[in-house]
Every structure is written in C-alpha cells, then in structure tokens.
A = this chain, B = another copy of it.
Amino acid sequence: MVAIRLDEIDRKILAELQADGRMTNVELAKRVGISAPPCLRRVRTLEESGLIRGYHADVNSRELGFEVQVFAMVGLESQAEAELTAFEERCREWPLVRECHMLNGEVDFILKCVAPDLSSFQQFLTGKLLTTPNVASVKTSLVIRGAKDEPGVPFDVLEERMNRTA
C-alpha cells in the first residue's frame, strides 16, 4: 500500500464522511471548501488507497430483534500460529460473532457477539464455541447497556497531532 500524503482538506473529507457517509458530493465539497470535481477525485483517491474501506448503514440491531450482546474472552490450549489462524477462521464463519480481536495478556481473543435472545447465545456458546478444538476457556459478559458506540477515528485528536507536528 502506497503511503498517501493527506492535507487538511483530505482529513476534513474523512471526518465528514465518517460522520455522514451518504452526504452528497456537492455538500461535501461545500463543507471542505473546494468545488465538486476535485472533491470527488479526492474521495475516489481515498477509497482506492484503502483509507476509506467502505460505507455502511448503521442498523439498529436491537430493534431488529438482536436483543443480546455479549463479550466473550477466549483462551486457547495452543497459541501456535496455525492454531490462532484456525480459530480466527472459525470466528469469520460464525455469523453471531461480529468482531474478533487477538489480545495480549491472559486471554487470547475477545469476541463481540450478538444474538436474538439468551438461549440462542447459550446454544451458540455450548454448541459451537465451547466444542471447538483447542478452545481452553471462555468467559462471557453480557452487555447491560451501551453508553458509547462510535467506532472510527477521533479526528479532533488527529488534528491536534498534525498541528503539533506541523
């Protein structure tokens, strides 16, 4: 991947599109202070460079019937690379697992899971996760309530750093 030089306009574009991914290009151009054509070119460049991975609607999963959200800490018997990737592959195939991160420390992986109800999750836990070879331990924690959920980049922090560097 090629290193991309970003100016302030590019960072504004990223911040605006992170906040509202369906903004029209003319509106975006207006906000970042250039005309539409160069703005669109910049967006395309950001997409092609991989800095923008994609655009997604933020769907209210609870309203859709996924009322349970669970964090699962998973420990494996063996931490050999082949075993690690094997487990990751499993996680990618389980639809209830929405995130899987490999961690340092006591626990090997943390999973964020959703499920329609507790019994669905229990079924997944006992039927899939716990019976997976090489899984040594699983500790689960139910999400009681969410207080903040804004995946993405804190652009205010980024601007601070750029100003300090520049």
Which A residues are closer than 8 A to B by beta carbons? 1, 4, 14, 17-22, 49-61, 63-66, 69, 71, 88, 91-92, 95-105, 107, 109-110, 112, 114, 116, 139, 141-154, 156-158, 161
Contact = CB atoms under 8 A, between A and B. Distances in A.
A56 B55 contact: yes
Taken together, the copies of this chain in the complex come to 2
A88 to B, nearest CB: 4
Given A64-B153, A64-B158, A154-B98, A91 B59 contact: no
A135 to B, nearest CB: 15
A63 B91 contact: no
Given A51-B63, A95-B157, A71 B101 contact: yes
A88 B148 contact: yes
Given A58-B55, A65-B161, A141-B104, A152 B18 contact: no
B69 A101 contact: yes
A40 to B, nearest CB: 12
Contacts of A19: 56
A152 B15 CA distance: 21
Contacts of A149: 99-101
Contacts of A112: 151
B143 A92 contact: no
A153 B66 CA distance: 8
